[in-house]
Amino acid sequence: MNYCPICGTKLNEAIVDQTKVEKCDSCGFIDWNNHTFVSCVVVAYNQQREFLMVKLKGQEEDKVTFPGGYRNHNEPLEEAARREFFEETGMTLHEIKLLDVYASESHRLIWVIYEGQIDRDVFIENDEVKSVFFVNKGTKIDESTLRGNLTKKLLMQVLKSTK
């Protein structure tokens, strides 16, 4: 960051709490260089207690992950989870609850993971997702198709708690 996002003054290098930061000498704003993206992800179950995964389109064609995406600035986390879930599946959810939070330092990414029950499991095709499928204990998934480490970690965790 070169300029203060609050007042627009050019930022200067400074040391605060033994950390190299960029500081605004005009209003005191500090850029800690620790910004992180927040993505809201949903583990969504059907009536048979199987959970939904998505097969992507576009740049990551055929990669498999859980539905979810970036939270908009100021958007409540739960709303972001529901919105992204709807955008990627066309489905809605009954009440949802927080399941876990993951962090990927290399991607500067936080996953806020919800779990919920699907209202009506009819997939509507969209720009991001090619198809969806339901997973239970017996489902074979080729690990090389998983989108990334967080997807892998969450899949392992959910499978462990699936009957």
Binding site for Zn ion (CB under 5 A): 4, 6-7, 9, 24, 26-27, 29
Residue 117, token pair as written in the block? 């029950």
Nearer Cβ to Zn ion, position 6 or 77? Answer: 6
Min dist. Cβ of residue 118 to Zn ion (A): 46
Residue whose CB is less far from Zn ion, 16 or 98: 16
CB of 7 to Zn ion, least distance (A): 3
- For Zn ion, the closer CB: 7 or 16: 7
> Hey, what amino acid is at 19?
T
One-letter amino acid at 28 equals G
According to DSSP, the β-strands at 64-65 and 51-56 are antiparallel
Interatomic CA distance for residues 125 and 150, integer angstroms: 24
Nearer to Zn ion (CB atom), residue 26 or residue 145: 26
To Zn ion, the closest distance from the beta carbon of 5 in angstroms equals 8
**93-113 burial, b if ≥16 CB within 10 A, otherwise e?**
beebeebeebebeeeebbbbb
Q: Name the minimum Å distance from CB 6 to Zn ion.
A: 4
Q: Measured between alpha carbons, how far apart are the two ends of the chain, in Å?
A: 48
